Structure 1
Amino acid sequence: MTQLGVGLTYVPGLDRILDACADLLDVVEIEPQTLWRIRSDGTISTDEEVLRRLADLPGARLLHGVGNPVGGCRLPDRAHTALVGELAERLGAPWVSEHLAFNQVGGEGEGGRANEDEGFHTGFMLPPRQTPGGVRTAVRSVRAMADELPVPLAVEIGANYLRPRADELADGEFVRRVAEGSGCGLLLDLHNVLANERNGRGSADELVAALPLDRVWEVHLAGGLDHRGYWLDAHHGLPDDELMALAERTLPRLPALRAVLFEVTPSAVPQLDAQPVRALLARLDALWDRTRRLPPVLSAPPRPAEAPQPGTASPSPSPSPSPEEWEHTLGSLAVGRAPATPLGRELAADPAVGLLRELITEARGGALAGALPNAMRLLLLTLGGAEVSELLDAYGRADTPRLFASHEAAAFADHLRRVRPDVPWLDDVLALDLGLLHVRLDGEPRTVSLGTEPTALLTALGAGRLPVAPPRGEFRVELVDR
């Protein structure tokens, strides 16, 4: 099988860049969760309109999961894995990829509601326990997903903002053991690797050298941001010179490389110009030999756990804390809880924990801005940015994150009804936003009852101002998807 080539990961709003670069695109990578619609009855459907637009683009297709990671004690969701597998078959994807991380702790609470005792989502992909026990946990999770997919699975090396620990395997050694123990392929995100170096976790070149390079099928590149002394994996802007130099050193060393993708976030798309992206794709295409013969993309036979190689630093065979304790403690700290344990106090002293909390709050706020645009605008116009930030912080402390924006919106609406901020028309605007959200997700009309004339509310908020004396009364409004 020959290489797929160079391409872009798709995000909403990227269409103009895709159109401008169509002649250079060999592959487009899709995050399947961004195509899913969570209906009111809990079932998941795929946005067929977006999928049709993507199917019309040139080149091959890959799938890259962003919400069902394979590095933790909680096994990946089988229903979500099945949906990814169906999409892979429809699009002819030769493999799919997921993150070597965790984003859930423990089990699901009653009715899908997460709580401290029964489990919760973290709202962010967090680094797994990098010990022999963590390797076994990750291998089990990777195999659980790989065995359910119709195509091979590659795992992505993630960004890790935590300080390195004396009781853990080095990043490259951990990934190598997981890849060889599970037989999976690797997605080498060079920006993640460089970000880890810049944040003090060790040399990017040494990490790459520790990997089984014949398992690297795919490479990601992206831009980042300097924030509070950390280099963030923000997918913002173009790769910088240091990252491109790392790519130039690394890509020729990857004998099984088939695809190189440039990643960008939706928020960064408006500032992205097509011409620099075209130049980047052309430069990447020149970095590797696309004429060489490659073996088929296949999962390798899993290897048993191994002893440390000579000269490789390794922790004791069963160090404490366990993967379960690690995930519960780090996940709890990331969502604003403070476990009163030695590990909890130790991790709480790492400045990266505060950064993780900030990133999770920002991600939840972004999800709410997309799902409840009028309500969030009303809150900002009435309370101001500082008070809305306090409101979001209080919500974050009271309720753990949701995986999907529609669930986050419903939970935040419930929180607002409990705390009752002094914001006029809030109940009506929430009813409109939630109604419109469900219409989009279900594809069916919905009727809502209001105490304020809706056109006056939506017109003013859409213009970025507060309504002025909107008519009051009893209004029943049918909402439809246009």
Structure 2
Amino acid sequence: MTGLGVGLTHVPGAEPLLDACADLLEVVEIEPQALWRARPDGTTGCDEEALRRLADLPGARLLHGVGNPVGGCRPPDPRQTALVGELAERLGAPWVSEHLAFNRTTGRTAGPTGRTGRGGRSEDGFRTGFMLPPRQTLEGVRRSVASVRAMADALPVPLAVEIGTNYLRPRADELPDGRFVASVAEGAGCGLLLDLHNVLANERNGRASVGRLLDELPLDRVWEVHLAGGFEHRGYWLDAHSGLPDKELLALAERVLPRLPALRAVLFEVTGSALPGLDPQAVRDLLVRVREQWRPQPSPAGLALAAPVPWPSPALEPGDGPGPEEWEHALGALTIGREADGTLARELAADPAIALLRELVTEFRASALAGTLVHTVRLLLLTLGEAGVRALLDDYTRSHPPELFATEEAMAFAAHLRRTRPRVPWLADVLELDLGLVHVRLDDAPRTVRLGTDPNDLLAALGAGRLPVAPAQGSFLVRLTV
């Protein structure tokens, strides 16, 4: 194939930006999880209307997973992999990508020190609510290779893995960042997605320099590059996708892109929350600049897929440090605010990045709730204030691990509110309204809810940012529609 070119990643709400840049788009990358709807019966459906709108945009299509990473001990979810494969065939995507990270832990038996062992207590696996760095050891390579192969073998198109952001301090018992990624890519026989903002953020936060990382990577496996913006917070440079790339990143791209012989696509990433403050003309200027710096070179039909390279000594000897499962449990537990025992947990807890990760997970979960239970969250804020809502969220997040989909998080939080019964007037009715609207979107069908308060009084007041004043009471049947 001759290559794809330059384009944008799609997030909900990005349609005006995509329209403004339509004449420059050569490729649009879609996050499939943003199009999925998790139904209460456990099935997952696709937002067909959004998919039709995306199909009408110019250029080629790529798929970039954001919820089914391939860097952990727990294999990627085969149901999600199957859905990605179906979308790839429907959209004609030449490859798909996923993150070299983990966001779920496996079940295990833990001894009294927190290390895996016989005779200990049983611990269930859980979601972390955030993509976390895998264990960068020989055994970590082996487990990541197995995870990558599990997804790659189930897909109808090739797979590339993204080099993620790592806020943790480097450890003496781990492989260098570039060597770890190279070993996984070569061992699995997959491609690479080089997110230049990720690796620059890693350098700024004290990990490997971009130059050393590139020297260690098999650059002929890089099919795709991401560009993004971030900002400084609590002494860290966050991979926030919060705006345009800065001057240092643009200069880095100008140096690096010509070094990538297999490069086929360069995408600009931005989050939905940053879209309102983004100047479409500035994005157009970015796309033009990248197109002037780099054009895809002709290549044989299909992607160059080198055979997997056997990795020597795939297992660690006893005493070589914590294994990947212990790493994932300790890091995952600390990230979501759970207690974790053992030497490794104490070492990780001393890393200031743990407090940052906890904050990011909490903010991410709060954002998911604010976007789904809109009126409920507004009522809680107006009644309890920010400090009260923060305490309520802290209690919820400590007792319930993160969910993958925002709708699942909403259902879980609603169950928590019904169980704890905070003293908030009209909460039951407002919650019923919000949940009804969630079900309407999930089922794409009308739904009727019964309330004890006039919904017009409730919605008018909350929509204006104030509490209702003596809303009418009674029995109200409300039909909610799409």
Please give the TM-score of this superposition, normalised by the length of structure 2.
0.95
Partners of 2:70 and 2:231 in 1: CA distance: 26
Structure 2 unaligned residues grouped into runs of 5+: 109-121
- After alignment, is 249-258 or 472-481 more displaced? 472-481
> Following TM superposition, by how much is the alpha carbon of 1:444 offset from its aligned partner in structure 2, in angstroms?
1.9
Name the counterpart of 1:323.
324
Name the counterpart of 2:104.
104
Partners of 2:66 and 2:437 in 1: CA distance: 25
1:193-342 paired onto structure 2 within 5 Å = 193-293=199-299, 296-306=302-312, 319-342=320-343
Structure 1 unaligned residues grouped into runs of 5+: 109-115, 309-314
Partners of 1:317 and 1:249 in 2: CA distance: 43
2:374 aligned with 1:368: no
Identical residues among aligned pairs (%): 71
Partners of 2:371 and 2:298 in 1: CA distance: 45
Name the counterpart of 2:69.
69
Partners of 1:352 and 1:291 in 2: CA distance: 40
Name the counterpart of 1:312.
none
Name the counterpart of 1:138.
144
> Following TM superposition, by how much is the alpha carbon of 1:337 offset from its aligned partner in structure 2, in angstroms?
1.1
Amino acid paired to 2:45: S
Partners of 2:37 and 2:22 in 1: CA distance: 28
Name the counterpart of 1:379.
380
Partners of 2:320 and 2:388 in 1: CA distance: 44
Aligned residues: 469
List per-residue Cα deviations over 1:87-143 (Å, max 9, x = no partner).
Answer: 0000000000000000001259xxxxxxx8221100000000000000000000000
List per-residue Cα deviations over 1:360-405 (Å, max 9, x = no partner).
Answer: 0000000000110000000011111121111111111111101111
Amino acid paired to 1:266: G
Name the counterpart of 1:470.
471
> Following TM superposition, by how much is the alpha carbon of 1:290 offset from its aligned partner in structure 2, in angstroms?
3.0
Partners of 1:454 and 1:204 in 2: CA distance: 56
2:185 aligned with 1:185: no
> Following TM superposition, by how much is the alpha carbon of 1:298 offset from its aligned partner in structure 2, in angstroms?
4.6
Change in CA separation of 1:284 and 1:318 when aligned onto 2, cut-off 3 Å:
farther
- After alignment, is 415-424 or 173-182 more displaced? 415-424
Name the counterpart of 2:397.
396
List per-residue Cα deviations over 1:268-311 (Å, max 9, x = no partner).
Answer: 00000111101100111122243443562153321111379xxx
The alignment partner of 2:293 has SS state of coil
Please give the TM-score of this superposition, normalised by the length of structure 1.
0.95
- After alignment, is 393-402 or 295-304 more displaced? 295-304
The alignment partner of 1:124 has SS state of strand
Amino acid paired to 1:27: V
Partners of 2:107 and 2:78 in 1: CA distance: 14
From 167, 173, 177, the counterpart of 2:179: 173
Amino acid paired to 2:456: T
Change in CA separation of 1:291 and 1:336 when aligned onto 2, cut-off 3 Å:
closer
Change in CA separation of 1:317 and 1:16 when aligned onto 2, cut-off 3 Å:
farther
List per-residue Cα deviations over 1:30-61 (Å, max 9, x = no partner).
Answer: 00000001122221111111111111110000
Are the aligned partners of 1:131 and 1:319 in contact in 2 as well (CA < 8 Å)? Answer: no
2:443 aligned with 1:437: no
Are the aligned partners of 1:62 and 1:95 in contact in 2 as well (CA < 8 Å)? Answer: yes
Amino acid paired to 2:169: R
The alignment partner of 2:172 has SS state of coil
List per-residue Cα deviations over 1:201-242 (Å, max 9, x = no partner).
Answer: 021111012100000000000000100000000000100011
